[in-house]
Amino acid sequence: MTKPNVHAVHRDWERPFPLITHTEGIYLYDEHGNRYIDGSGGSSVVTAIGHGVHEIDQAMFAQAQKFSFYPAHAFSNQQFLDLSDLVVELAPGDLRNNSRVWITCTGTDANDDAIRLARQYWVESGKPSKYLVIGRWQGFHGNNIYIASVSGITARRRIFQPMFADSPHIAPAFCYRCFYEQTFPECNLLCARALESLICQLGPENVAAFIAEPVVGAALGCVPAPPGYFEKIREICDRYDVLLIIDEVMTGWGRTGAFWGIDHWNTSPDILTTAKGMTGGYTTLAAVVARDDIWAVLEKNRSPFKAGHTLNANAVSCAGAIAVIRYILDHNLTENARQRGEQALEGLQKLMDKHPIIGDVRGKGLMFGFEFVKDRATKEPFPPEQRVSLRFEQAALKRGLVTYPCSGTVNGVAGDMMLLAPPLIITAEQMDELLTILDSALTELEKEVQ
C-alpha cells in the first residue's frame, strides 16, 4: 500500500497518485494490480521503445561497472564520442554528416543551449546586435524562465511574466483554428509569412533565431504544420540571416512515422534539439545538433561554448541512448509508428463520426490527438472551468489507459484536447484496445457535459 505522503511534491495537490510497481512493453502496473496502457508515452512522448527492454539496462550497467561519472572539464568518454557519431549519421537534411553534437540533460536544457549557441555564434561572427529569438504562440520548448518566455503557453507564462526576457512571437500554424481565419491552401501560408513581417519590424540585424516544433505537442495536442510551411520558414530565415532552430524534443527518433519530424517537410534546420525518445525514459539525456560551420566559428576564435551542466555527456546515459537508438533502428520502429499512426487516425475519425464532442483529430505517426468542442459547427470550446480534458483523462485512466490532457487551444486559456503517444512498439491489436477505451471514455464524458 502507498504510505501517507508527507514530503514528496506531486504535480497536483488533490488527486491521488497510485504507486507504479512494474512495467512491461506498453503496459504499466500499479500497487493494486491494475494494468494501464501507457498511451501518453510517459509525461509525455517519452517511452519510444516500451518498458522493460533489458538491452538498455544491460548497456547502462556495463558502462556503470567501468565508471559512471567523470570530471568532464578534464576528460572525455567513449560513449559520448560514439553517441555523437551516431547522431550525426542519422541527422536530417544538411545536418547529416555535416554537424557536431552537444550532449546535455533535458529538452529544456537543449533548447536553452541551442539559443545560447545561436547568440554566441552571432557575437563570434561579428554581429553582436542579433539577440532576439522569435517563438510561436501555443508552442512549448521547456520550463526554465528564459525558455518559458520563448514558449507560448499562456497558463505557464502568466505568473512568471514579469521575469521574462524580450521574446517576440508569431501565431501558430494551426489550420483548425486559423489565427487569420483563412483556409489552407488558399491562405497562402500567412502564418509562415508572418515571420517575415515580424523580422522586418524588429530589424533583421536584431534577430538571432526562430524556434518551432514540427508537430506542436503539449501546447496544441499534436498539430502538424501544413504542407509547405517549413519550406517557407526556411526561405524567410535564409533571406534575413536568421538561424532556424527545430525543436525535435518530442518528434524525433521515429515518433511521427518519419525518423525526424522535420522530415515531413523538405527542410533542413541550422540547429536541431532532441531529448525524450532519445533515451526512451530509461535515463535523461538531450542533444543540440548544429551545422559544422556554426561550431567552426567558435573553434576558429578559440571560444569555448558558454554552456554546460554537471551531468553533461554522462557516460551511463550516453550508453543508454546508444542502445535505445540501435533498438529503434534494428526493429524498424519508425515504420511501425507510421502504420500504427495511420490506424490511430482512421480510428479517431470513426470515433469523431460517433461522438459530436470531438471537433478535430490530428497528428503524425504515433503522436496524435483530438480536440473537444461544445458545438462542432461553430467550434465553440467548453468553458475552462468544466475541465473537460482532465475529466476525460480520469475516465480513460479508470478504464486502463493513460492519456495526456491539454488545454488552451483557443486563446491560451479555453479549449480542451488530448495528446496520445504510445510506445513505438504498439501492435495493431493493442491499438484497437486503446481505441476501444477511448470510445468508452468518450461516451461517459458526453453524458456528463452535454
Q: How confident is the model at residue 104 (pLDDT cuts 50, 70, 90)?
A: very high
pLDDT in tens, 294-341: 999 999 999 999 998 999 999 999 999 999 999 999 999 999 999 999
Mean pLDDT to the nearest integer, 343-349: 99
Burial of 276: CB neighbours in 10 Å, binned 0-12, 13-18, 19+: buried
pLDDT in tens, 24-82: 999 999 999 999 999 999 999 999 999 999 999 999 999 999 999 999 999 999 999 99
Provide the 8-state DSSP code for 204.
G
β-partners of residue 28 are: 23, 36
Instruction: Answer whether residue 1 shows pLDDT above 60.
Output: no
Q: How confident is the model at residue 215 (pLDDT cuts 50, 70, 90)?
A: very high
Which conformational region is residue 330 in: left (phi greater than 0), alpha (psi within -120 to 50 degrees), or beta?
alpha
Q: Tell if the pTM clears 0.85, that is, is over it.
A: yes
Q: Hey, what CATH class is 20-49+332-449 in? A: alpha beta
**Cβ contacts of 13 within 8 Å, gap of 6 or more:** none
The letter for the amino acid at 255 is R
pLDDT in tens, 350-377: 999 999 999 999 999 999 999 999 999 9
In this structure, whether the domain defined by 57-330 belongs to CATH 3.40.1440.60 is answered with no
The secondary structure of 390-445 as a DSSP string is HHHHHHHHTTTB--EEEE-TTTSSS-EEEEE---TT--HHHHHHHHHHHHHHHHHH
Domains of the chain: which residue ranges? 20-49+332-449, 57-330
HSE-CB at 38 with a 13 A cutoff on CA atoms is 29
pLDDT for the residue 369: 98
pLDDT in tens, 238-295: 999 999 999 999 999 999 999 999 999 999 999 999 999 999 999 999 999 999 999 9
